[in-house]
Structure 1
Amino acid sequence: MESTARPGGRVRDERVHEYPDPGGIFASCGQSYRLFRRRHATAVVDFLLHQLPRAPRVLDLACGPGTLGLDLAERGAQIVGVDASQEMLDEGRTWAGQRGLSEAVKWCCAPADEVDRLDGIGSFDGVVIADAFHWLDRERVLAALDKIVRPGGFVAVVGYRAPGTQREWWHPLLVRLREKHLGAADLAGPATAYIAPGVGHEEVVRASPFASVRVLRADYQRAYTLDELVGLQRTFAYSSAATLGVKQDAFETDLRTALRIVQPHGTFTTTLQAAVIVGHRP
């Protein structure tokens, strides 16, 4: 899709409608997300902390169970985690308690584009949106964040895999199995089709109030056992237990069989490139 946006201007997105139930996209994913999603690369956490003052106040938006926010809390940040899924927030509270971080994190259930209207939300030194920006109404979210990010603060869009870089080598196998059991369309949870963003995240950030951009890209390795890789599929909206329903057992049986064939020793490793897009006001 072409765009003629200039810094600070508007980017037209191809989304034709919003998700009717954003909190339901990741139904059934909460516990699996906490157990099987990998934490972000150390270079990502270090880079974000380098942008922040000491003892910062950080908003983890569309936080899930706090996969990134809790790592920042362990390094001294005060975190507010906001997500549309109460299930995810409940898992976040559990995880924070296990890590001794209950006092460092506040949890709020709300759609991302309404975060500026939450009672007592206050202001923030930085906002992180990790592996979630593609689910959001990005323009509306950035406009809302402009109201609550302090002068000199930032918005950071974090992805475990930089757009356009190579996916995990087993990704085509997963796609074929999803198509076998669910059909060709990517799903946004049990009842909704995925709406692909029309333009890249960096372009959207550059056209927002946070138009002064710096980008980190960092290589790192990921490794999974067979059980972990199967469990990881339960964390995705398009292959969650709620989405697969009665097909889950058959899907996971086929997945285990295929993975054992391609990797009999049961260890699955790959090199990925993380991406962090940090936008400040000009």
Structure 2
Amino acid sequence: MNPPAEHLPTPTPDDGDLLFGAAADAYARFRPGVPEQVAWLLADAMTGVPDVTLLDLGAGTGQVAAALVPALPRITHVDLVDPSRAMLREAVVILHPLMGNRTLSCHEVPADRFDPQRADYRVDLITCCRAFHWMNRPTVLAMADRVAAPHATLALMGDGSLWTHEADWTGALKGLIQSYLGPGRRAGSRGTYTEPNRRYEDDLAASPFSDVSQHLFTFPRAWTPQQVIGYLRTTSFARPDLFAERHAEFEAEALNLLEGHADDSGQLTEQVDFTVLLARRPGGTA
């Protein structure tokens, strides 16, 4: 599983809000959720664990927990870790009606700085969806080893982005973005994207969680042109401030382009490859 193409150092809390905090509402509305079949896979990984503690790293607006809580009723506590306060606020609003008598804690720190400050803290399921590429990966995996129960499962998962998806409409959209921002893929406020030289599998092989299985889910995802516009506002490669005073012009042109590529029902289709890496310590079964 190759990291998505937004490979940057771990942001500080201020950087996290600078990069994504302003888009927290749009993130909650327009970022695709975790597929149901992925939630069931993670629930199956917890077979035999009576009371599950979930630690979600790079939690964003709580999409992983929102998918998992209904699929895994044995979750008793959820820890959300994200450097953006705005994202965590959205997550609390989304998760509140789902939690019942479960407990929820939010930690406004980068994942590598998570510290439960409890000597007896042990987590059963650690998840990271569409976010591991932002992190100091060896440090995060070392932290996970410190807090994980012997039987714990670590799940790294994601499905790339519309920048990397190959279709007529995504190619045209990418070309339009490049016509405004230049040929290189922008990476937030930090310049352009640099191709990573290490796969997630390599990170896991060098970590205590070296027993890895890969699971691929392929399915179509439908977008409306307006949903794509909302999604672009949440990305590091097409954030509104990158366009400065030309953002409204870009969105109008992008909307026209997308409507021209939509089918008769007004939708655009993306064929999604959603990859999940389930990792455990060798011999560590639930």
Shorter-normalised TM range:
0.7 to 0.9
5 Å-filtered alignment, 1:17-28, equals 19=11, 21-28=15-22
Aligned pair in 2 of structure 1 residues 100, 79: CA closer, same or farther (>3 Å)?
A: closer
5 Å-filtered alignment, 1:50-69, equals 50-52=44-46, 53-69=49-65
Instruction: Name the structure 2 match of 1:82.
Output: 81
The gaps in structure 2 that reach 5 residues or longer are: 1-6
SS of equivalent residue, structure 1 residue 50? helix
Asked if the contact 1:188/1:237 (under 8 Å) is kept, the reply is yes
State, as a whole percentage, how many aligned pairs show the same letter: 25
Report the CA distance between 1:83 and its aligned residue: 0.2
5 Å-filtered alignment, 1:43-122, equals 43-52=37-46, 53-75=49-71, 76=73, 77=75, 78-97=77-96, 99=98, 103-115=102-114, 117-120=115-118, 122=121
Report the CA distance between 1:252 and its aligned residue: 0.8
SS of equivalent residue, structure 1 residue 28? helix
* Count of aligned pairs: 265
SS of equivalent residue, structure 2 residue 188? coil
Report the CA distance between 1:145 and its aligned residue: 0.8
* 1:25-68 residue CA offsets vs partner (Å, 9 max, x unmatched): 32422111100111121111111111112431110100000111
Asked if the contact 1:206/1:279 (under 8 Å) is kept, the reply is no
Q: Does 1:32 align with 2:26?
A: yes
Asked if the contact 2:27/2:61 (under 8 Å) is kept, the reply is yes
Report the CA distance between 1:194 and its aligned residue: 3.7
Q: What TM-score, normalized by structure 2, do the two folds share? A: 0.84
SS of equivalent residue, structure 1 residue 199? coil
Q: Match for 2:224: what amino acid?
A: T
Report the CA distance between 1:19 and its aligned residue: 4.6
Report the CA distance between 1:215 and its aligned residue: 0.8
Report the more deviating stretch, 174-183 or 208-217: 174-183
Cα distance in 2 for partners of 1:252, 1:101 equals 40
SS of equivalent residue, structure 1 residue 170? helix
Report the CA distance between 1:23 and its aligned residue: 4.3
Instruction: Name the structure 2 match of 1:270.
Output: 270
5 Å-filtered alignment, 1:84-163, equals 84-97=83-96, 99=98, 103-115=102-114, 117-120=115-118, 122-161=121-160
Report the more deviating stretch, 27-36 or 68-77: 68-77
Asked if the contact 1:161/1:167 (under 8 Å) is kept, the reply is no
Asked if the contact 2:188/2:237 (under 8 Å) is kept, the reply is yes
Cα distance in 1 for partners of 2:192, 2:16 equals 12
Which portions of structure 1, spanning 4 or more consecutive aligned residues, are displaced by more than 6 angstroms? none
The gaps in structure 1 that reach 5 residues or longer are: 1-14
Report the CA distance between 1:263 and its aligned residue: 2.1
Aligned pair in 2 of structure 1 residues 157, 224: CA closer, same or farther (>3 Å)?
A: same
Instruction: Name the structure 1 match of 2:4.
Output: none
* 1:214-241 residue CA offsets vs partner (Å, 9 max, x unmatched): 1110112211112112111112122123
Report the CA distance between 1:251 and its aligned residue: 1.5
SS of equivalent residue, structure 2 residue 63? coil
